[in-house]
């Protein structure tokens, strides 16, 4: 079972920071970061467009320069909202990088950056048109479609995008036949955002292939559930 550090294990470290990227890379198979464009044009990592969710600033990411964003304190820490390239620099080459593209207009620059690093890279998004654009620019890019609640429609989109993997909310993985249906089509399902031991255990028992986890401690509980099921 693979463990993806959601926002760099955002419940354990200041989310989507260079510090989170570096520390979570030591405890996960893959580091997931959220990509946006800031007001000065650079790519930065932030899950939210509105900065007040993680900092004391009430502006939007696209209203601040990269330097201004770096000067903020994420989750009350001394670590600011970083440029994407600075976060990528601290992730070892043997750790996968998963980039959640939070808005249109970033694909070309993302591909230019990821072409320069040795890591395996997965591009994800809730926006199918963003993934279409990535695929049209580079047919070799690995894509994972982020599901909303519309299972049938999302499976169709993933199939058309030729996604070998999808990310779905853990409640869909446990409360619907999504996992079984995806397996029938050769699609792997990862569950997000996993932050509770009971949910992790149930996902492991259900045979889920991967966790997009908010902190590293849930991985062991998922493995216990998998052992109960008789998996590896």
What are the pLDDT digits (tens) for 156-173? 999 999 999 999 999 999
Q: What is the reported pLDDT for 230?
A: 66
Q: Domains of the chain: which residue ranges?
A: 2-229
Asked if residues 146 and 120 have their Cβ atoms less than 8 Å apart, the reply is no
Mean pLDDT of 28-45: 99
Looking at residue 226, what is its pLDDT?
82
Sequence-separated (6 or more) residues with CB below 8 Å from residue 125: 100, 101, 102, 131, 145, 146
CB-based contacts of 34, cutoff 8 Å, min separation 6: 7, 16, 45, 46, 47, 99, 100, 102
pLDDT for the residue 219: 87
Whether the model clears a pTM of 0.85, i.e. scores above it, the answer is: yes
C-alpha closest to that of 28 among 219, 168, 189? 219
pLDDT at 229 over 90: no
pLDDT digits (tens, 9 = 90+) for 50-74: 999 999 999 999 999 999 999 999 9
Topology at the third CATH level for domain 2-229 = TIM Barrel (3.20.20)
pLDDT of residue 204: 92
| Phi and psi, residue 172, nearest 5° | -70, -35
Mean pLDDT in the chain? Answer: 95
Confidence band, pLDDT 50/70/90 cuts, at residue 223: confident
Q: What is the pLDDT of residues 123-157, one digit of tens each?
A: 999 999 999 999 999 999 999 999 998 999 999 99
Q: Is the pLDDT of residue 195 over 90?
A: yes
3 to 63, 140, 191: CA distances (angstroms): 34, 23, 10
């Amino acid at each position: 079972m693979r463990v993806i550090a959601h926002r760099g294990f955002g419940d354990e470290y200041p989310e989507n920071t260079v510090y989170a990227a570096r520390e979570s890379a030591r405890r996960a198979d893959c580091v997931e970061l959220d990509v946006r464009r800031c007001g000065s044009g650079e790519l930065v990592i932030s899950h939210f467009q509105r900065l007040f969710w993680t900092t004391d600033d009430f502006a939007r990411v696209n209203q601040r320069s990269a330097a201004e964003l770096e000067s903020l304190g994420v989750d009350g820490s001394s670590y600011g909202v970083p440029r994407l390239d600075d976060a990528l620099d601290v992730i070892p080459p043997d750790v996968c990088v998963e980039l959640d593209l939070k808005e249109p207009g970033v694909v070309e620059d993302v591909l230019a950056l990821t072409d320069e690093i040795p890591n395996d890279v997965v591009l994800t998004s809730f926006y199918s048109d963003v993934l279409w654009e990535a695929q049209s620019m580079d047919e070799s890019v690995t894509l994972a479609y982020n599901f909303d609640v519309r299972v049938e429609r999302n499976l169709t989109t993933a199939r058309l995008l030729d996604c070998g993997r999808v990310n779905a909310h853990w409640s869909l993985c446990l409360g619907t036949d999504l996992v079984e249906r995806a397996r029938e089509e050769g699609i792997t399902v990862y569950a997000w955002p996993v932050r509770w031991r009971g949910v992790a255990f149930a996902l492991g028992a259900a045979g889920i292939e991967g966790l997009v986890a908010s902190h590293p401690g849930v991985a062991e509980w998922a493995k216990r559930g998998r052992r109960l099921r008789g998996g590896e």
